[in-house]
Structure 1
Amino acid sequence: MNKSSTRTFPVYDSLRRAIIEQALKPGVKLPEDSIGETFGVSRTVVRNALVRLDAEGLVDMQPNRGASVAEPTIEEAYDIFDMRQCLEREVMQRLCAMDPAPIVAKLRAHLTEEQATLGNDQTRSIRLAGEFHILLSELTGSRILARYVNEIVSRCSLILARFAQVHSAECGVEEHAEIIKAIEAGDAEKAMGFMHSHLHGVQDRALLNRGDGGGDNVGEILSRYRENGAK
């Protein structure tokens, strides 16, 4: 990793986590100078991080208008969820054809983390819920599949930040446990069925209920991510 990448990554990582954990809401402006001051880096370094997030669909960069957290439309939301169903169906098929022991061990360790955050840390709970699906894809051993799932899960977090109504995290954890059991049994049809229902449940919560993202202090939010680092 070169010097420029070393400086860019903490900015990129903090921005990405703040967006996924819904601390930075869709539509919030991301001023390069303010972010640069927060991290003690140049605007060029900040811009490199924003360009990377723009390529991932999490940030919207417009000429002469600067950057802001992306605001997916409801049409894009349904399209993304349709694509996610296809990708995660493939993940289930691949995992159920593999040795379940090491897969289940890692998934249950992650599930324990999810359970520990219930009622204690909502932002981390949101992130862990998405990372469960990313972990599933990584365990297939396919870097390409993992890359696509990673991107689409991140976009779904953004969609939920914009459209979703408040819901109980306990539901997601219980559904994740059902998916793990099906993988352990090597039952691809059941695993795909559980995943299909789980994702439809998430999609059903993506109802237009737009909150007011105005007034968010980007520097203050990002300073917390800079200080805490990845958990």
Structure 2
Amino acid sequence: MSENKTTLTDAVHDLLKKAIIEQALKPGMRLPEDTVGEQFGVSRTIVRHAFVRLEHEGLIATRRNRGAFVAEPTRDEAQNVFEVRRCLESDVIRLLCKRMPESGYDRLESHVRHEQAVRGKDGPVAIRLAGEFHILLAELTGNPVLARYVAEVVLRCSLILSLYARSHSSDCAVDEHSQIIEAIRSGDAAAAIAIMEHHLGAVADRAALVNPQDSIQSILSHYGKELAP
């Protein structure tokens, strides 16, 4: 692929990814190649290359003879993704407690200030920034393989939250991010990991990864109260 095509593919990929993470493109929404190409002023070939990358990242799915759609992870898939994320981010914390780069805390604190600036003002951007905080943590380990895996699961978690979350507010996440920074700064890996696990547990809880359909017993119990003496 030529350098120009690579640059265009990167741009289309990044824009589509941003639109998915910010929930402008919803899970299950069809992505016609010609429409995407027209909107971005690129060929269908460029769009297809971007789609391949997004599919590898778990953000879109292609269906035979039907085209591409924003991915709709099942609840089992979502639980698996959150399990992997907790494992990976615990290792991120362990590594950062040993080898935070000199500029690391400044970069993290700058990111949190950015999060605080949009707090309560722009929900989709706040959600994206919340995920990018975790990706930045992984990048600061200096391990590009770990950073790539963390970025993938964080992006998938953002998609899962847009599909299943009962409440998608990231307000509490900003304060928790500050707590994570201070815990790493203390050098106490066990304490820092505990804070991270609590934080990620709260994120998973917002995804409400349980059967969304109430049982007939729970539904009728509400109405049954009207019969109570």
TM-score (norm 1): 0.87
Alignment correspondent of 1:175: 176
Larger RCO, structures 1/2 (Cα 8 Å, 6+ apart):
1
Q: Give 1:26 deviation, angstroms.
A: 0.5
Give the aligned residue type for 1:162. Answer: L
RMSD: 1.5
From the superposition, tell whether residues 101 and 9 of structure 1 become closer, same or farther in structure 2 (CA, over 3 Å): closer
Alignment correspondent of 1:28: 29
Alignment correspondent of 2:95: 94
Written as runs of structure 1 = structure 2, the 5 A alignment for 1:55-134 is 55-99=56-100, 101-134=102-135
1:41-94 Cα shifts (integer Å, max 9, x gaps): 111111111111011110101221100000000000111000000000000000
CA distance in structure 2 between the aligned counterparts of 1:75 and 1:185, rounded to whole angstroms: 36
Q: Which has the larger radius of gyration?
A: 2
Secondary structure (helix, strand or coil) at the match of 2:103 reads helix
Structure 2 residues not aligned, in runs of 5+: 213-229
Q: Give 1:167 deviation, angstroms.
A: 4.1
Give the aligned residue type for 1:146. Answer: A
Give the aligned residue type for 1:196. Answer: E
Q: Give 1:101 deviation, angstroms.
A: 5.0
4+ runs of 1 displaced by more than 3 Å?
A: none
Equivalences, count: 210
From the superposition, tell whether residues 74 and 42 of structure 1 become closer, same or farther in structure 2 (CA, over 3 Å): same
Identity, % of aligned positions = 55
Structure 1 residues not aligned, in runs of 5+: 211-231
1:175-229 Cα shifts (integer Å, max 9, x gaps): 101100011111111110000000000001112698xxxxxxxxxxxxxxxxxxx
Alignment correspondent of 1:196: 197
TM-score (norm 2): 0.88
From the superposition, tell whether residues 3 and 198 of structure 1 become closer, same or farther in structure 2 (CA, over 3 Å): same
Tell me whether 119-128 or 84-93 shows the greater mean CA deviation. 119-128
Tell me whether 16-25 or 98-107 shows the greater mean CA deviation. 98-107
Q: Give 1:169 deviation, angstroms.
A: 2.0
Secondary structure (helix, strand or coil) at the match of 2:5 reads helix
1:105-151 Cα shifts (integer Å, max 9, x gaps): 11101000000010111111011000000000000000000000000
CA distance in structure 1 between the aligned counterparts of 2:172 and 2:9, rounded to whole angstroms: 36
